[in-house]
Structure 1
């Protein structure tokens, strides 16, 4: 499961009730003196503090697909596979809007810039197999690149997005592609997406030149619109079809940690299977 500080899906964050200033701690006798402040407490040895900090960093930056527990391993799932996706590209190209349109089938007119990463999931169907997509939406700002690069590892698919009305976002694709090639496994499926296809009158990048770039670099390609929903489903599904094909022909090793794919036990007959967006209850992703 993603770290607790990452707001996954599109649910609500849990509210925390504030205690009045100066109020005694719950369950403690007000007559008794309060416990010593951190300054009065005995300081832990430097080695212990460093080890604790390292452990905490490892927890925060461990983004491998979660391993099932012994109890979970015997339980049936309503999907057969998990595919990890990342969405990359310049700031403002509509990465978060594409994710929201795909998972919620809604357009966010006022989509805030992503800080760090956001997370969403949805179950789809490919060749009769139910597949859960775990989708990591990364920030496009340069100051977050060092953080978001850690999420590339173990990605089965990458959606590389540019804005057809802003040539600068297209010109930066080579840099994004270099990161994707260097930080993911050789079998990661990369699809190039020209977003904002509904703004044809403002087009600054032709379909033909983007298609040629994709062909020269071995990428899947399509144009889409997060606003109208045009080709948004296809963008995520086409990448999943290619990943599943790689599984079937043996070019993708499911036992490799960096494959970005997990195989799960199938649900029993009559289990709840759906390709509709699933409600998220892991915190707000907007």
Structure 2
């Protein structure tokens, strides 16, 4: 795993994590930013972020991961945070057919609220550590990603498999985008974070 750099960076890449509720978005962000995992966590209300500073392509970069609520009542809030994003992770749960089917909704939502050509996007099938409960095959995920011409990875927030790789890929791609220097100024957003205390199952 790439060592965390304890320095200040002038470059910030904002990566938005979207998808249905309980697909493991919070756990993915926690694994990347803190190298930690919690089997039970709280529901995200609105949006919050964690960050990690790393050396990427020879540059010191602060990678901000913005974790968004997947519940229907918070989706208008999520749309407000598309602005200023450099990369987007669309996450589904390989043990949930519904979350996979809803990927099309999230892609359409993305198209309606952003200039998709300016973004680096990838599709993630999370919770591969729950292989016995899998209902969405790797091939299905690969085919869907090919339809939209975006990279595809299967991940596990519990074991950490492919999590850092996804964040680094989006960061590298974002740094290559011509729009980066203009939109990076918009990443200094703040938000109030409200959290419910009810645990949810299988956040990994």
TM-score range, shorter chain: 0.7 to 0.9
Equivalent in 158, 170, 174 of residue 243 of structure 1: 174
1:219 aligned onto 2:150: yes
Matched residue, 1:99: 29
Q: 1:224 & 1:157 partners in 2: Cα distance?
A: 17
Alignment partners' CA distance in 1, 2:78 and 2:129: 29
The size of the alignment, in residue pairs, is 184
Unaligned runs of 5+ in 1: 1-76, 263-281
Shift of 1:208: 1.1
Matched, 1:138 2:68: yes
CA distance in structure 2 between the aligned counterparts of 1:85 and 1:222, rounded to whole angstroms: 16
Which whole-Å deviations, capped at 9, do the CAs of 1:15-69 have from their partners, x for residues lacking one? xxxxxxxxxxxxxxxxxxxxxxxxxxxxxxxxxxxxxxxxxxxxxxxxxxxxxxx
Alignment counterpart, residue 175 of structure 1, candidates 105, 127, 137 = 105
Structure 2 counterpart of 1:278 = none
The 2-side partners of 1:216 and 1:124 are apart by 32
2:48 aligned residue: 118
Name the CA distance, whole Å, in 2 between partners of 1:198 and 1:109. Answer: 12
Cα displacement (A) at 1:140: 0.3
Please give the TM-score of this superposition, normalised by the length of structure 1.
0.60
Distance between the aligned counterparts of 1:131 and 1:222, measured in 2? 23
**Distance 1:129-1:182 versus aligned 2 partners, 3 A rule:** same
Q: Which has the higher helix share?
A: 2
The structural deviation recorded for 1:190 is 0.9
Larger radius of gyration: 1
* CA distance 1:117–1:284, shift in 2 (3 Å): closer
Distance, in Å, in 1 between the alignment partners of 2:193 and 2:34 is 14
* Aligned-partner Cα distance in 2 for 1:218–1:187: 14
Question: Is the 1:121–1:134 contact (alpha carbons within 8 Å) kept by the matching residues of 2?
Answer: yes
Say if 1:155 and 1:184, in contact at 8 Å, map to a contact too: no
Q: Does 1:82 align with 2:37?
A: no
Answer 1 or 2: which has greater strand percent.
2
In the TM superposition, residue 78 of structure 1 has moved relative to its aligned partner by 2.6
The equivalences for 1:9-28 within 5 A come to none
Q: TM-score, normalised by structure 2?
A: 0.84
Query: Are positions 1:201 and 2:128 aligned together?
Result: no
Distance 2:94 2:111 in 1: 23
Q: Which residue of 1 aligns with 2:120?
A: 189
| Residue deviations 1:1-25 (CA, integer Å, cap 9, x gap) | xxxxxxxxxxxxxxxxxxxxxxxxx
Number of the residue aligned with 1:254: 181
How far did residue 244 of structure 1 move?
A: 1.8
